[in-house]
Amino acid sequence: MKDATWDRLEAFAREELGRPLFGGRLNLQPASRLEDDLGLTGLDAVEFIDRWAATFNVQAQGFPYRRYFSPEGQQLLSSFLGLFSKRFRRPALVPLTLGMLADAMRRGKWDTDEIEATANSSH
């Protein structure tokens, strides 16, 4: 079955993310994680989400960026310091997938609890 929402999101992601370092096509699937699989972190991730919300008219005020993305460059230092002190340990990140973004597009808004619940039930 053709999914117009997914097709639009996939085209957007390809345009925003460009080509992989070694050429070829990005392997984009609904289960693709933005940080772990596609390498989006920090300001790049914030800009991607902001452009996604504007492009697809998704209400995403209050989007919990820190829940899904590590800050650029600080991950290594935080990980090192976290070995010695709980104070420096960041809470585990929740994986944000392209499928979750497609779900929000269908809803017209970002609802963290509903979208995460739907994503977890589809595994």
CB 14 within 8 A of CB 43: no
Q: What is the DSSP letter of 88?
A: G
Scanning the structure block, which residue is given the tokens 């017209």? 108
Q: Specify the pLDDT at position 121.
A: 84
Q: Kindly tell me if the per-residue pLDDT of 108 is higher than 80.
A: yes
Whole-number percent of the chain with pLDDT over 70: 76
Other C-beta atoms closer than 10 Å to the C-beta of 101 total 26
CA 103 from chain centre, in angstroms, equals 12
Domain ranges of the chain: 4-121
